[in-house]
Amino acid sequence: GVGLSVHGHFRVATEKTLFAMPETAIGLFPDVGGGYFLPRLSGKVGYYLALTGFRLKGRDVLKAGIATHFVDSEQLPALEKDLIALKSPSMENIANLLNAYHVK
């Protein structure tokens, strides 16, 4: 899933988010999606994740640059409702809405 979804404009993480690449823990290499985005993460964290299979949870997914926004999981139903209700779902309007729910 991450190899596809990481290329989206908006990626929301919650305190329940778990980022993992279990294939690396058994000696395989990340898929083509992971092979593209992991080396592009700042601070070489992508190399570390690819080589070790280390799992990221919650806010660490945002800090690593994999998620673009962090939202409390209890707020997801309200966020979904507000996204659906957008009259003009432009990139700017979606970004503004996600920023309103984003927990710093």
Is 38:47 a contact under the CB 8 Å cutoff? yes
Inter-CA distances, 53 with 27, 47, 56, 77, 95, Å: 9, 10, 10, 31, 31
Work out the percent of the chain whose per-residue pLDDT is above 70.
98
The answer to whether the CB of 23 falls within 8 A of the CB of 30 is yes
> What's the domain range around 69?
1-101
Q: Tell me, what DSSP letter sits at residue 54?
A: -
Q: At 57, which CATH number?
A: 3.90.226.10
Q: Give the residue, 71 or 1, on which the prediction is more confident.
A: 71
Average pLDDT over residues 63-90: 96
**pTM for the predicted model, two decimal places:** 0.87
Q: What is the band of 53 on the pLDDT scale with cuts at 50, 70, 90? A: confident
Tally of domains within the chain: 1
